[in-house]
Each structure stands twice: as structure tokens, then as C-alpha cells.
Structure 1
Amino acid sequence: MALNNLTPADGSTHSRKRVGRGQGSGMGKTASRGCNGQKSRSGYKIKRGFEGGQQPLQRRLPKVGFVSRVTKPYTINVERVKAVAELAEITMDSIRSVHKIAGSVSKVKLIGAGAKELAAKIKDDNITFTGK
């Protein structure tokens, strides 16, 4: 056995289809491309989503949804939530101890009339206040 004697197994390979080589081959004239038209031409390429001139589905349906990548802070009105205003030191942990906040919340903004007075108590960078 040598490399020059290797051949594929019988029936495992097929000869290449030679199109456009005469009527006798069975693939002459239109070369198995059907009749005339855009699809029978060389270089034909259909656009993605093209539906033969009909309005494509992605243009027929309304645009829906938008998800902002900017995370908005969770707002707490200190006039309504008195427990936050009464804290000695305002951090994320201390706010969570007196007010129910989801675990996914990473930033808090204090709003309301008394928010500016609480600025000295804030000890966390993720907590801000409105300065009105």
C-alpha cells in the first residue's frame, strides 16, 4: 500500500455536474436555471428580507421596545420616607435596613424638601440628592 495507489471507495464520489454543455447532457440551454428572469442571471443575489417587491415583514410590523443602557437611580422622597431622614449615617446598607429596596439597585437619589439638609450625612458615593 502506497500513497500513489490510494483511491476512494466505489460509489463514494460523484462526477461534477457540467451545466451548459449542450442539449444532449440534459443540462444545456438554460443550464438548469429555469427560464429567463433575475434568478437565471449571473451575479444574482437577493437582499436579506426581500419579498419580491411586497413590503417586507420587518417593515410591516411596528417598531417596539427600547432598553436604555444608562441605569437610572432609585429615588426616595425623604418627606414620605421619614425613616431615611432620621438615619445618623446614610449608606446603601443603612437605607436597606429601614426601606425596602431590590437587591439589583446600585444607585439611590434622595429627593424632596429635606434632601439638601441630609447631604452631610451621606457616606456613600452611590447616593446623591437634589439640591433645590
Structure 2
Amino acid sequence: MKLHELKNVAGAVHRKKRVGCGEGGGHGKTSGRGGKGQSARSGSSIRPGFEGGQMPLYRKLPHRGFNNYNHRVEIAVLNVGDLASLDAGITEINAVVLAANGLIRGGEKTVKILGDGEISRALKVTAAKFSESAKAKIEKAGGQAIVG
């Protein structure tokens, strides 16, 4: 099977609803908008949870707990084996070099190096955090693991 041979399942594609084209079409007169009121007007959109000015339920109920999402620190995780895949000419590695080589996203400043994989050449690696095994492998290969 190839992409150009794919077909929709029977009943998956519906014809477009043509509103306002007479009562015989089933969507005439009010065009599926019901009677009068705010929702019958053009451009109307009422946000979810709006109760017509009455105090909404989500504001009546107490808010409890803590949400860490706003205070999180995004950490780019990288393995020692990934560092070995960089060009042989690169000896000093930091977040800018990793982003330039596509190993991390450009905006991620906090990098943690983990110990999965092997490294055979001496590298001077600057990162925010290192695991114990990663630090040991980098230093065993003759490199430096600098926290910064």
C-alpha cells in the first residue's frame, strides 16, 4: 500500500452543511442557531465557564494545592555517548556548541550530562549538572567536567 492508494473509510467524509438555503434543506430559517439571543448573533463567542454574569462555579470553589508548572526549570538531558558523536575538531563543549550541532534546542540553557555511552577523547565540557558516572567517564578520557 502506498500513500496515493489510501482511501477514506466509508462514512468518514460528510458533505458540507449548507445553512440558510431554505427549509427543505433542513438548515433553513435560523440556520441551526436556535432562537434569539447572544448565541444566535454573528460573531458571538461565549468563553467556557461563562454563566451570564453570575459568579462562575470555578470562582466559587476553593483553589487548593500547588502547581509547579510556572516555576519549573527546563533541563536539556544529554548522554556522554552523544558528546562522542561531535566533530573531532571540537574540544570545548558548552550549551552554545550543543545547540549549534543540533543536540539541544537553542533556548535551553540548563544542560545535564548523563553517563550513558562511552567517550574516548579528551573534552572540556561545561554544563549546569553532571551525573557521577558522566563526570567519571569524561575525566577518565582525559577531559574536564566544569559545572557552570
TM range (shorter): 0.3 to 0.5
Larger Rg: 1
TM-score, length of structure 2 as denominator length: 0.33
User: Which structure has more strand as a fraction of its residues?
Assistant: 2
TM-score, length of structure 1 as denominator length: 0.37
